[in-house]
Structure 1
């Protein structure tokens, strides 16, 4: 990471901020977890100060008080940690052993804009990005680590989140054990500014924050004004009220990894939550290839 950062700043000395992908430093295994502050963060602080840049060096697994979090640090050009963010939605039931964070994270780059941080699976829950936007975030920095076949779906989510929240959205995906690439950057109208391929890339982009402010003032393409409309109807979403009854969601069963259909049926029967599945055609289904 330090070498790539040196190369980036040699090629593009005008860059003010650098963002790496999720879990870029040590990979996706929780046994690499370390305390924060720690060696990784200190090394990244030195690099930010060396190059006089804002730096979001992806995230690492953090161990704290017997728990493990997926944590990103934000470092300013003086090498100071200005904030940290713990991923709110670990990729359950796959990201086993990781505790969700509980605090949203925004920070100011003085004289430029307010930035928000979201990590990977967070964006599948539109409330997270909407909350950051309501807190004033004009740019969402979203390190991710997707190596699975749902990457195409994620690309559509990035565009949607940028449009409905009228913000820049930087979805930075890793490679190899850290993802399958295809990072995506969208503007406040949801249009693609840049999409990387499935190989290592440095994609330096210049932002025009006035585009966000203009969109939020006049609407997406001078049409829909989703943030203003959300503000004017914010009290009408009963599912978010404390004590709300959600029988359908509660009927969906436990959060478990999919398995072979017959095993899953037995598991559900054992939990006494479902009737055994029936199929009058006799078709048993196949788990896929």
Structure 2
């Protein structure tokens, strides 16, 4: 299956222009034969939470964009999938579900049906301070093969990624949010390579670039693909382009087929990993709350 990763230079205050750019590139990807197209985090404006130093601006973004699914943003994504006649993976977007807000990735069919919804499990310290809740379950997507789905900070969790590998994923597909630090791209690549070698499966990751109203880049993350043999198998070198990966060729190069998913006592292993991940999340939340209490005093 041919997958197209849209490496976009998103304008912070130009949603319409960003949507039109994506629409054009989705059409290009479809003409090249792509069956699945992956959009960057918090499309159409990009994920600015790690870029904004002033959390007041981040809270404003959340107030403006958080909505129920279906809503205006998910309807826009559905239209892009239907117009492009491709499966579309988009997210995360900000989902309002009762009193809680989740960072949620959607997988939409060419017919406009939401066939998958994944709420990001591992959330950052800033996500927590902004009032974002974590999801509870990993997600698998079955198209030509079975893929694991991650979102942003999930990449940093060995437990979540191991669950996806043990669940017979032949590759992991996900998004990487923008960071303001210059060395963040290298860090992200090193972590992705570690996950690739730990689990012996490729990672297919879409990043983004975000520019302010003056055209200056204020945040970025790489769009790239890893494999067991090549480590960094492919990488987007230009803005506003589509990085293509043929999964059949990638899996042959990586030697990832049929290596995993045959572990005995699989249910107990996954249950144990889930409990460990939940415990770690609780410890981290308590640490953040204790830190905030000390600062307030």
Q: Contact between 1:88 and 1:102, CA under 8 Å: does it hold in 2? A: yes
How far has the Cα of 1:180 moved from its partner?
0.9
Q: Contact between 2:163 and 2:273, CA under 8 Å: does it hold in 1? A: no
Higher relative contact order (CA closer than 8 Å, sequence separation 6+): 2
Which structure features the higher share of strand residues? Answer: 2
CA RMSD of aligned residues (A): 3.7
**Which structure 2 segments of 5+ residues have no match?**
1-17, 48-60, 212-217
Secondary structure in 2 matching 1:101: coil
**What TM-score, normalized by structure 1, do the two folds share?**
0.72
Match of 1:185 in 2: 225
Alignment of 1:248-259 (within 5 A): 254-255=287-288
**What TM-score, normalized by structure 2, do the two folds share?**
0.71
Q: Does 1:215 align with 2:232?
A: no
Compared CA separation, residues 86 and 190, structure 1 to 2 (3 A):
farther
Match of 1:137 in 2: 169
**Which structure 1 segments of 5+ residues have no match?**
220-226, 259-263, 271-289
Greater Cα radius of gyration, structure 1 or 2: 1
Deviations 1:15-61 (A, max 9, x none): 11110111122444311211111121122212212222110122211
Match of 2:206 in 1: 172
The count of corresponding residues between Structure 1 and Structure 2 is: 250
Match of 1:45 in 2: 78
Deviations 1:187-209 (A, max 9, x none): 24462121224744321222216
Compared CA separation, residues 252 and 175, structure 1 to 2 (3 A):
closer
Which structure features the higher share of helix residues? Answer: 2
Deviations 1:89-136 (A, max 9, x none): 111145521000011111211xx1112211111110111111112222
Match of 1:68 in 2: 101
